[in-house]
Amino acid sequence: MPILPQQNILVNTGGALNAQSYSAANSPQALVGTGNEAEYITSIAHSFNEQQKQIQNIDILTEQLEKESPNDELLEAIRYLKNLKEEIQEAKTPDHGRMKKWLEGIKQTIQASSLGIETIQAAEALFKQFGF
């Protein structure tokens, strides 16, 4: 009787195959690659409901930042949030590079500023939704 090769079965739910994180600890360099770099990619919603949730979180953070005492850095972060919202709403295929730049600018401003807990929580919710 012949020996049959082992079957590999992949069950997929139809979602995108992007893991939130990947640890290559103790992996051989042949598998991981030497000198390879991983670049962050923003997670953009594909369905209408997910896009609305992202837009809602952008609006919440914008409102919280506007309640804080305004300075040049916060005004720039608010401008980045408005750019981010416009990119999601109007672009057929949003530009990941620009969105990443805006999210990084918002994150740096929030980290450098002393803000209220509501603003920090709104920022964390937004960054989590974008996988940032």
In a domain, 83, yes or no: yes
Give per-residue pLDDT as tens, 30-42: 455 655 555 555 6
In a domain, 85, yes or no: yes
In a domain, 67, yes or no: yes
In a domain, 37, yes or no: no
What does 54-107 look like in DSSP terms, one character per residue? HHHHHHHHHHHHHHSPP-HHHHHHHHHHHHHHHHHHH-SS--HHHHHHHHHHHH
What confidence score (pLDDT) does residue 45 get? 67
In a domain, 27, yes or no: no
Number of domains composing the chain = 1
Is the pTM higher than 0.85?
no
In a domain, 84, yes or no: yes
Q: What is the maximum span of the chain, computed from C-alpha positions, in angstroms?
A: 79
**Domain limits at 72?**
48-129
In a domain, 102, yes or no: yes
Give per-residue pLDDT as tens, 12-21: 665 555 555 5
Q: For the chain, which residues score pLDDT lower than 70?
A: 1, 9-43, 45-46
Contact (Cβ atoms closer than 8 angstroms) between residue 39 and residue 30: no
In a domain, 19, yes or no: no
